[in-house]
Chain A
């Protein structure tokens, strides 16, 4: 029978020497240090800027009635959206991964795609459909529909690799299927679910663009006002530090919720792969639910794109420059996804396998970029590179570094979703059979966490492909991505000309989502049929 890993480490001499509880493997240590340095860069910028502001100025900016209202707006939006994203994300992941759902491959991809639609298209789609859509409920709905994939994808990865033996044992001991799901399955995927929820929560703290369109004002509005109307980076950075404090509280709370983040099995025998449950009479309601979710999250924005293309008088056949924009977007996003994923592996591995105060702090730090407005991070990079690395300023490389910092949190959650299930005992067996650490890593660990790496890659790729703020500041002068071209046409009311660019953003986002899904299906072939 399988059980959760015992809390105390196995203390054979072999284990201790290899996994080096005191000595981190060199490569991981270097990787995690680089990740921490990159994340600290914008944070240092914030602190340096905010320091220049006197206390009086901070007081004037912070102790206003508006700020209280804005903070309250932020909190109640974040709470509602996080809960809804958790329910939708876990529900959708379970249906795709554990049930005999018709057209599963299609759903698997479609459910990730809302992440690849620019906020502006989502907001505009809804407002054109229902002009009266404004305020709190509209913001909750729109943000939930675009952010639930952040919970769905990591949860699905984790569900794919949990041991069904535990669930069977629970059922045989008399738990109902609902109790089993609640007490066994959910507990096993908890690190992935909580990680995804953390992304939603932190992301909402820093969200700005989407709320403009539904006229819902959150705390970031105060930050952007200082930047855009006061041209006051000092005041804006002082306000942004409030976001850092709030995220620090959230990150502390999350640690308590996610537990020690590992759910690997330590019992004997081969992992049981869960059979897909037949939906039976539930097939119709589940399909209806997924159709409604995708219809709202994908259908509405894509519908408005089609409308623009058909009705806008600026619609033309896109010029050849659209190909260059596709190329740049794909290149920058793929490179950033590779860098973020590569950095997330040592950060996660150290926090899970060499748990101490420093490795945990680095892991927590890696989440911070999610809670800072993209503009702050981008201006931080501007400020540092013009001083210390002018040759890199506004180069492709700097833009890729910017994306890698911005979306490192997504990569960490992706990697964590698989690493929680990968037992270090298997690595120890590999070592005991005479493999070198590098070979163990390549032959044991990597195949185990590959779906997580795929999820990390897909999440970062999709988010980078739609990123606008940092792109406008840091792209090489004269280089356009799909997002910058789309922005340039929409600010000009040329919605018809803008639509193909947004459609292409969705299309290239589908590529990593599809590849990941195909790879997960390979895994699933080993699954017993029901």
Chain B
């Protein structure tokens, strides 16, 4: 093994060079506004582009899973580089508000949407909403077999037919709604029923995929998952349909997506301007046309074509504030060993 320079040295030198160039990239400065976003990435990109064009403020977006971003902000605390946190669900915003990490949203922004769609303490503003529904496989279930209430899914006749995702962030609000409207005892009985009837999936993407594949006959999801899957697979690949429960049922739940300004933000004015833009007519129309299939919350802006109007569904009268941070639902799921 006689050779001059061991060949391993040259790759190492190249890598040292790369490392040095990476150090150079550490320089800060950059954009005026940093948005941490747990929302649909493509929708966020459209919104940010429109905002930059309108306001001239440069925005950089950090996309991620909202729970992970929430934990990141908790660790960052006062030093958080985030100015705005835009999420798909509100429990994570409530968790940050509880620790005093959010600033008050300006009154004019809050006034643009219904009072009940935002934080009661003015910590965050509701931006868009999704409604929960049942995805089902029409080849396995006749329309007469579909439930009027989500509570029916715990009945023995659903044994072996259901799929659900108890660890999904969208599942807790449903359970919270049942706790709120029917009491903890009913919620626990319902969850036990679901547990014995259903197959457990990791997330709602899996629920809707597997109902579409025919593995499960039905599963509770938010309606937008089904629309997005339909966009990807096309009408020929869609072998499932959506069913809404009777008006006022806890299963007809509206999940709000919200945005907040961080208390530690050093660009509060720009951050408030971004929130104002999200619920402006332009912002809300961007959401409606972004194929995210969420409902704009500003009165007078209609949702994407094909979505049934929220008012027609007459969802359960529960506000995000009433649903809280989902602690009761979490405790119940842990008690039953679902988490």
Contact = CB atoms under 8 A, between A and B. Distances in A.
Interface string B1-38: 10100111101101110110111011010110010000
A45 B74 CA distance: 14
Interface in B24-69: 25-26, 28, 30-31, 34, 40-42, 60-65, 67-68
B7 to A, nearest CB: 7
Contact of A221 (B22, B213, B325, B339): B339
B74 A231 contact: yes
Interface string B64-84: 110110111011110111000
Given A337-B15, A472-B68, A492-B42, A69 B81 contact: no
A286 interface: no
A242 B315 CA distance: 44
B232 A472 contact: no
B202 interface: yes
Contacts of B15: 334-335, 337-338
B313 interface: no
Contacts of B65: 228, 472
Contact of B71 (A379, A400, A488): A379
Chain B, interface SS category? helix
B327 to A, nearest CB: 8
B104 interface: no
A494 B19 CA distance: 33
B232 A450 contact: no
B231 interface: yes
Interface in B232-280: 232-234, 237
A215 B201 contact: yes
B63 A488 contact: yes
Given A212-B202, A332-B22, A393-B81, A453 B16 contact: no
A446 B8 contact: yes
A126 to B, nearest CB: 13
A383 B205 contact: no
A131 interface: yes
B169 interface: yes
B232 A496 contact: yes
A384 to B, nearest CB: 9
A492 B63 CA distance: 13
B170 to A, nearest CB: 11
Nearest to B2: A447
Nearest to B41: A488
Contacts of B8: 446, 450, 453-454
B293 to A, nearest CB: 11
Contact of A331 (B18, B70, B76): B18
B337 interface: yes
A375 interface: yes
A331 B22 contact: yes
Contact of A229 (B19, B22, B339): B339
Given A131-B210, A488-B63, A379 B167 contact: no
B232 A386 contact: no
Interface residues of A, number: 75
A147 B270 CA distance: 48
A491 B39 CA distance: 10
B188 interface: no
A457 B213 CA distance: 41
A221 B79 CA distance: 29
Nearest to A392: B26
Contacts of A379: 71-72, 75
B329 to A, nearest CB: 9
Contact of B25 (A387, A395, A523): A395
A228 B22 contact: no
Nearest to A213: B202
A472 B65 CA distance: 8
Contacts of A313: 231-234
Residue from A134, A215, A335, A395 having most chain B Cβ neighbours under 10 A: A335
A100 interface: no
Nearest to B95: A231
Contacts of B11: 338, 457, 515
B181 interface: no
Contacts of B201: 215
A356 interface: no
Given A212-B203, A313-B231, A397 B22 contact: yes
Contacts of A13: none
A477 B60 contact: yes
A477 B215 contact: no
A477 to B, nearest CB: 5
B284 interface: no
A339 B213 contact: no
Interface in B180-227: 199-203, 205-206, 210, 213-215, 225
Residue from B12, B62, B326, B339 having most chain A Cβ neighbours under 10 A: B339
Interface string A243-285: 0000000000000000000000000000000000000000000
Interface in A370-403: 375, 379, 382-383, 386-387, 390-398, 400
A64 B338 CA distance: 12
B119 interface: no
Given A227-B67, A331-B18, A400-B22, A491 B3 contact: no
B33 to A, nearest CB: 11
B3 A383 contact: no
Contacts of B202: 212-213, 215
A448 B339 CA distance: 50
B79 A390 contact: yes
Interface string A489-514: 00111111000000000000000000
Given A229-B169, A473-B68, A386 B75 contact: yes
B332 to A, nearest CB: 12
A335 B7 CA distance: 17
A66 B334 contact: yes
A225 B14 CA distance: 42
A19 interface: no
A131 B326 contact: no
A396 B25 contact: yes
A2 interface: no
Contacts of A224: 167
B110 to A, nearest CB: 24
10 contacts: A228-B67, A231-B96, A311-B233, A312-B233, A386-B77, A397-B25, A472-B64, A472-B68, A478-B62, A484-B63
Given A391-B28, A396-B25, A446-B6, 13 more contacts: A212-B203, A213-B202, A222-B339, A229-B91, A229-B339, A382-B76, A386-B79, A387-B79, A392-B26, A397-B25, A447-B1, A454-B8, A491-B205
Question: 4 tightest A-B contacts by CB?
Answer: A338-B15, A212-B202, A395-B26, A228-B67
